Amino acid sequence: MILQLLISGILLGGVYALVSIGLTLIFGVLDVVNFAHGEFLMIGMYAAFWLCTLLNIDPYLSILLVAPLLFFVGLFVGRTVIRQTIGAPSSVQIFATVGVSLILMNGALLLWKADFRSVPTAYGSGAISLGPIFIGYPQLMSFIGAIVSSAMLFPFLRYTYIGKAIRATAQDRRAAMLMGIDIQKIYTFTFGIGIALVGIASSLLAPIYSIYPGVGAQFVLVAYVAVVLGGLGNIPGAILGSIIIGITETFSGFFISPGWRQGIYYAVFILVLIFRPQGLFGQKQ
């Protein structure tokens, strides 16, 4: 039983990691906490839903369309809103992204109503059994997706020119600018990448979760918790943080009560913010 809980927790952590990676990337480079992150996930899930119902495209295949779509959505929002908030007082940052979140969430409510929708797939409830342990097929896919997308992100950030420019900007804006990097472009581009990662996440999550205008909130709060646990801006930290949250959730759901399981990680979150704001693995500044 313990092993089953542990594995379910790790897989659930993979789901959360998908959302956290983009969030932590945006935070690390732009130094902006994106309060609209969950709403981009919601838009991506609706895109996967419509591609599946109207064009009969499998959600996993729709990654190829949803990720680029969200990349462009990210570029647009990054250019029009996010870029103006960089270096601004935190009230401006918070409320500009909260504004984006309100527009997206209620825009979706206007267009698609509050109905819960789900993507019908043959494998949606499929599971693989390894002896006494059951592993949900879509959960496994999203976990693999999280690993693959972060594995792709690393060489991109390490070896490509633009990846190096992104890291340089994250380390020292002024120095990057002096080296001839157009940091404004880097900001917009990074935001686009972060949102494209959310696009990958949304296609992978569409077969598992119901889709409704408020669906983003349920993931994004967890993603914040994971990102803060791992240290803001730290991508491997975000993945590890997500897995810790996933395990905490399955264990507290089983041993305490399913209704309280989210309450537990919010409490953990507040405690971590207070005692280790640099994250569990971060260095003290």
Partner 1 sequence: MEGSGRSPLAKLILKDPELSFSLLGLVFSALVIGFVRNPFYLDVLIMIFLWAMLASSWNIAGGYAGMFSLGHGAFIGIGAYMSSMLFIHFKLSPWIGMLIGAIAAGIIASFLGTICGRLKGHYFALATIAFVELINIAGVQLKELTRGSEGLSIPFHAGLANFMFESKVTYAYIGLIFVALFYFLSLALERSKLGYYLVAMREDEDAAKSLSINTPRIKMISIGISGFLAAIGGTFYAQYILFIEPDTVLSFNFSVQVALVTIVGGMGTALGPVIGSFLLTPLSMLLRAYLGGGLAGLHIVIYGFLLIIVVFFIPAGIVNAIRTPLKKYLKGEEIG
Site residues for partner 1 per CB under 8 A: 33, 81, 84, 89-96, 98-103, 105-107, 109-110, 113-114, 213, 217, 221, 224-225, 228, 257, 259-260, 262-263, 266-267, 269-270, 273-274, 277
State the minimum distance, in angstroms, from the CB of residue 33 to partner 1: 4
In the block, tokens 């729709």 appear at 62
Q: Could you give the CA distance from residue 193 to residue 88 in angstroms, rounded to a whole number?
A: 22
Q: Could you give the CA distance from residue 158 to residue 172 in angstroms, rounded to a whole number?
A: 16
Nearer to partner 1, 143 or 224 (CB): 224
State the minimum distance, in angstroms, from the CB of residue 150 to partner 1: 23
Nearer to partner 1, 20 or 62 (CB): 20
State the minimum distance, in angstroms, from the CB of residue 41 to partner 1: 16
State the minimum distance, in angstroms, from the CB of residue 6 to partner 1: 24
Nearer to partner 1, 189 or 224 (CB): 224
Strand residues in 38-190 grouped as ranges (E): 127-130, 133-136
Q: ∠ CA 281-170-177 to the nearest 5 degrees? A: 160
φ/ψ of 136, rounded to 5, equals: -65, 135
Nearer to partner 1, 185 or 261 (CB): 261
Nearer to partner 1, 121 or 278 (CB): 278
Nearer to partner 1, 195 or 228 (CB): 228
State the minimum distance, in angstroms, from the CB of residue 90 to partner 1: 3
State the minimum distance, in angstroms, from the CB of residue 176 to partner 1: 23
State the minimum distance, in angstroms, from the CB of residue 2 to partner 1: 25
Nearer to partner 1, 72 or 266 (CB): 266
Nearer to partner 1, 3 or 273 (CB): 273
State the minimum distance, in angstroms, from the CB of residue 217 to partner 1: 7
Residue 87 CA: distances (Å) to CA of 33, 91, 113, 173, 263: 12, 11, 37, 11, 33
φ/ψ of 127, rounded to 5, equals: -145, 150
Q: How many helices (H) and strands (E) does the chain have?
A: 12, 2
Q: From the CB of residue 251, how many other CB atoms can be counted at a distance below 10 Å?
A: 17
What's the CA dihedral at 143, 148, 150, 151 to 10 degrees?
A: 140
Strand residues in the chain grouped as ranges (E): 127-130, 133-136
Long-range residue pairs from 5-8, CB within 8 A, at least 24 positions apart, any chain = 5/247, 5/250, 5/251, 5/254, 6/247, 6/250, 7/133, 7/135, 8/136, 8/139, 8/246, 8/250
